[in-house]
Amino acid sequence: MRKMIAAGNWKMNTTLEEGKLLIKNILDGLMENPPRQQAGELEVIFGVPYITLPMASTMVKENPQVHIAAQNCYNKEKGAYTGEISVDMIKSTGAEYVIIGHSERREYFNENADMLAQKVDLTLSRELIPIFCCGEKLEIREAGNHFDVVKQQIEGSLFHLDADAMKKVVIAYEPIWAIGTGVTASPGQAQEMHAHIRRLLVNKFGKELADDISILYGGSVNAKNANELFLQPDVDGGLVGGASLKADDFITIINSF
Ligand code: PGA
């Protein structure tokens, strides 16, 4: 069954203490304002900094609806890669998801399609769930090439997977022009791209599998616009940056389904 997902991407924000307080405030808020949907139907994910992973995993243990994600992993299993983090390390913290191919990773750390395919494979091999990000730059959209670029990103890093592996993947469409800018894709623009992504999945893996895959929208999702975005038939939730750092806003987003 396709899940609804509200995922926060904290990026390089929050010290250990700040992270603890944020998680506590969100968990307390969810006790007061529980989502209408059950665990399994709706998942809440905190994409926290590496240092926060063990503590966060422990803190959410009692709540079956809340899960923890790392924001990246390295594309090698282990060895002499100073400063990097492996999927085994992430797994050992209790985290269950890994965000892969965020546009900030692609842009500032030169992550390319092959590297991301390796990360997807490693993640799945440890039974971690990849949240695979795709999305176009403004000039690509203005040139009318956004559908092609997103197609290449998905084909280049996901279409080597077999159906069993593919059905575990979560996809996040994040147009780069909407990330951190306050300019959100309109619900229509989001729906159009999500439908395009689902069509690609239908063509490659069949309708049943494609219907089961959660496709999240990311890019200036906030407490006000989440509901309208999540109402779109192919928008199964959000990957939320800035607004996931404010407990009240993130709770409102979680309760926007
Ligand atoms: P934003 O970030 O919500 O702050 O635009 C989204 C993301 O980059 O995942």
Q: How many domains does the chain have?
A: 1
Torsion angles phi and psi, residue 120, rounded to 5: -60, -45
- What is the rounded distance in angstroms from the CA atom of residue 163 to the CA atom of residue 208? 11
Going by CA atoms, what residue is nearest to atom 6 of ligand 1?
A: 241
Model confidence pTM above 0.85: yes
Considering 67, 102, 146, 194, which one is annotated as catalytic? Answer: 102
Does residue 41 carry a catalytic annotation?
Answer: no
Going by CA atoms, what residue is nearest to atom 7 of ligand 1?
A: 241
Considering 96, 104, 111, 174, which one is annotated as catalytic? Answer: 174
Q: Is the CB of 220 under 6 A from ligand 1?
A: yes
Of the residues 138, 174, 176, 177, which should be mutated to test ligand 1's pocket, given the most ligand atoms within 8 Å of the CB?
174
DSSP, residue by residue, 38-82: PTTTEEEEEE--GGGHHHHHHHTTT-TTEEEEES---SSSSSS-T
Structure tokens at 123: 């993640």
Helices 113-125 and 146-158, axial angle in degrees (round to 10): 50
Which atom of ligand 1 is nearest to 180's Cα?
5
Q: Is the CB of 241 under 6 A from ligand 1?
A: yes
Which atom of ligand 1 is nearest to 220's Cα?
5
Does residue 194 carry a catalytic annotation?
Answer: no
CATH number reported for the structural domain that contains residue 242 in this entry: 3.20.20.70
Contact between residue 73 and residue 98 where contact means Cβ atoms under 8 Å apart:
yes
Backbone angle region of 220, left / alpha / beta, with phi > 0 → left and psi within -120 to 50 → alpha: left
Which atom of ligand 1 is nearest to 239's Cα?
9
Q: Find all residues with CB under 8 Å of 46, minimum gap 6, and list them.
A: 7, 8, 10, 23, 26, 56, 60, 66, 67, 68, 69, 244
Helices (H), the chain: 16-32, 53-59, 87-93, 103-108, 113-125, 138-142, 146-158, 163-166, 187-205, 207-212, 226-230, 247-254
Q: What is the pLDDT along the chain (257 residues), one digit of tens a residue?
A: 899 999 999 999 999 999 999 999 999 999 999 999 999 999 999 999 999 999 999 999 999 999 999 999 999 999 999 999 999 999 999 999 999 999 999 999 999 999 999 999 999 999 999 999 999 999 999 999 999 999 999 999 999 999 999 999 999 999 999 999 989 999 999 999 999 999 999 999 999 999 999 999 999 999 999 999 999 999 999 999 999 999 999 999 999 99
User: Where in the sequence is the domain holding 61, given as residue range(s)?
Assistant: 4-71+78-254
Structure tokens at 159: 């279409």
Looking at residue 1, its pLDDT comes to 82
